[in-house]
Amino acid sequence: MSIISRGFGGRRREPSPDLPPGQYLAHDFPVLSAGPTPRIPLDRWHFSIVTETGEKHTWNWAEFTALPAEEFTVDIHCVTKWSKLGTSWKGVSLDTLFEDVETAGDYAMAHSYGGYTTNVPLEDLLDGKAWIAYEYDGEPLHPEHGGPARLLIPHLYFWKSAKWVDGLRMMHEDEPGFWEDAGYHMYGDPWREQRYHGD
C-alpha cells in the first residue's frame, strides 16, 4: 500500500501507454556517463567480436560503415527514470555482425573505449533487437551520446546500450559489467522495472 502524498499530482506529465512503470517522458536527451567523454578518431576506431574460443572478428570504420545499415525508430528508457519515445537512429544490426561468427556462448560482455562494460544475453542481441548505431536523428552520433558508435538495445534499460562500444566478448556464463557490479540489475527489463539487484 503506497502512501498518499497530500496535494501531489497537479503537475503530472502526460501519461502514455508506451511508458514503462516509474518512467517519465523527457523532451531533451539527458546524458549519463560515469566518467569523461572519450573522443575516438575514426581512423583509429574498430569494433570486434571475440568468441569464447578467442576467435576475433574485427571491422574498421570503413568496413563497418560499408555493411548494410538500417534506419529505425525506437523508444529508449533510462534507469534514472526518463524515457524518450520515437528516437531515430541508423546503424548495423547485430544479426549482420554475427553472420559469420560461430559461438556457443550464451552471454556477451560489451566493452567500450574508456573501459565501460555491460553484460547482455546473446538472444537479446539477435533477431532484430539490437544494433551498433552511428547516426542519431540524421546526424553522426555525438561523442556525448556515445559516438562514433554505440550499442543500442532499446528493449533493455539504456545503460545496456554501451556508448563508445569497441567490442563484444562472448562468454559461457553471465558476468556483471560496470553498473551491474555497482548494484544495478543483471538483465534490466524496463517493463518489469528491473532497476537494481534483486528487482
**Which positions touch other proteins (CB under 8 A)?**
2-9, 11-13, 22, 24, 26, 28-38, 80-81, 114-115, 142, 144-145, 178-179, 181-183, 196-199
Shortest Cβ distance from residue 103 to other proteins (Å)? Answer: 28
**Residue number, 11 or 44, with CB nearest to other proteins:** 11
Shortest Cβ distance from residue 188 to other proteins (Å)? Answer: 14
**Residue number, 45 or 98, with CB nearest to other proteins:** 45
Q: What is the DSSP letter of 122?
A: G
The residue assigned the cell 502512501 is 3
| 8 Å CB contact between 165 and 149 | yes
d(CA 188, CA 120): 9
| 8 Å CB contact between 158 and 116 | no
**Residue number, 23 or 103, with CB nearest to other proteins:** 23
Shortest Cβ distance from residue 146 to other proteins (Å)? Answer: 11
d(CA 72, CA 121): 22
| 8 Å CB contact between 24 and 83 | yes
**Residue number, 72 or 178, with CB nearest to other proteins:** 178
